[in-house]
Amino acid sequence: MNPTLLLSRSEVARLLSMPECIDAVEQMFRRLGEGKLPPPGILGIKSKEGGLHIKAGLLPGDRDFIVAKLNTNFPRNRAGHDLPTIQGLIVVCDGANGRPLAVMDSIDITIKRTAAASAVAAKYLARPDSSVATICGCGQQAAAQVSAICAVLPLRKIYAFDSDFAAAENFAAALTAESSISIEPVRDLRSALERSDVCVTCTTATQFFVRREDVGPGTFIAAVGADDSHKQEIDPGLMASAKVVADSLDQSCAIGDLHHAIAADLIRREDVHAELSEIVAGKKPGRTSDNEIIIFDSTGVALEDAVAAVAVYEKACRQGFATRFDFVE
C-alpha cells in the first residue's frame, strides 16, 4: 500500500494550470447538472478570532474519490501573527476504502477554482464578443480572475478598481508586464462599469458598491466576494432586476449577494433563473439577449475543490512525485 502523497502550495501551483482547472470545473458543473454527482457537504465552526470551514464532496467514476477541504479564516492573522488570513489543506481519499491518497495545501486550488468557475460562467453567460472588463478588488484572486476570463473571452482592455488606489496601480503594473492586454487602474468605478462588458467583484466588502444605475445593458457580472453572510458587493436592486445564476442556490440564498436581496424583499428564491450546472448541462438557457444583465452569484462549491484536487493528485502520480508519509505505520 502506497503512503499518502504530500504536496506543498508551490507543487500544487506547478501541477494545476488555469486551463486544466477551467476544464475540470466545467466538466464538474456538467456532471452535476446531469444528476451524476451527489450534493456536497459543508460544516463551519467559528472561534473568537476566526473560523474553520469544511467542504467535502464525492466524485464517483471509474475510480471514486472523497475529497475534503479544511480552510481556516482568521482576519487578524497578518497584523497579530504574521500569518496568512486563510490557511488550509485538502485531503483526497480513495472512495472505495477511505485510504488517504493525498494531503495538499488548499490555497492555490481555492484561488484557481474560484476563478475557473467565473470563467465557466462567462463562457455561457457573457456576450461572446466581450472585450472590456472591470476587476473590483486587486488582491491575489484578481490576477487569477483575469487569467481565467481571458481564457474564454477576447478581452483587450481591463480596468482595475480597488478601495486602495495604490493596490490597483500595483496590480495593473504587475499584470501589464506579464500580458499584452491593456490594464488601467481607475478611481471612478461608475465610468469603468459604463464602458465594460464584464465585471468581476472579488473583494471583502460588507456593503454593496456596484450600483444598479452604474451597470449598462448586456453586462455580465461575476460576484465572487460574498462568501459569508456579512459580505456584500452588489446592489440588491440590481440583483432583483438582473437575470441571476447561482453556483449553488442554497448557498447563494444563505450567504451570497442574493441573500441580501431576498432579505430586502426585492427578489425571491424562485425568481433565480438557474444554477450554473443546469446551464452547462443544457437544461436551461444561458444568455438569450445581448441586452440582459446577468449576475453569477459565486459562493464557492465544494465540488470545485474536489475536481481540482483530484486533477492535481492524478498528475502528481503520473509525474512521479515522491514526498509521501505513512499515516498508518
Q: What residue type is assigned to position 28 of the chain?
A: M
Rg (CA), the chain: 19
Helices (runs of H) and strands (runs of E) counted in the chain: 12, 15
Longest dimension (CA), the chain: 62
What DSSP string describes 55-89?
EEEEE-SSS-EEEEEEEEE-TTHHHHHS--SEEEE
Residue 82, number of CB atoms within 10 A of its CB: 7
Do residues 21 and 58 make contact, with C-beta atoms less than 8 angstroms apart? no
CA atoms within 13 A on the CB side of 321: 25
Burial of 290 (0-12, 13-18, 19+ CB in 10 A): exposed
**Enzyme catalytic residues:** 69
Distance (Å, rounded) from C-alpha 311 to C-alpha 306?
9
In the chain the first and final C-alpha atoms are separated, in Å, by 11
- Measured at the alpha carbon of residue 112, what is the angle toward residues 229 and 69, in degrees to the nearest 5? 60
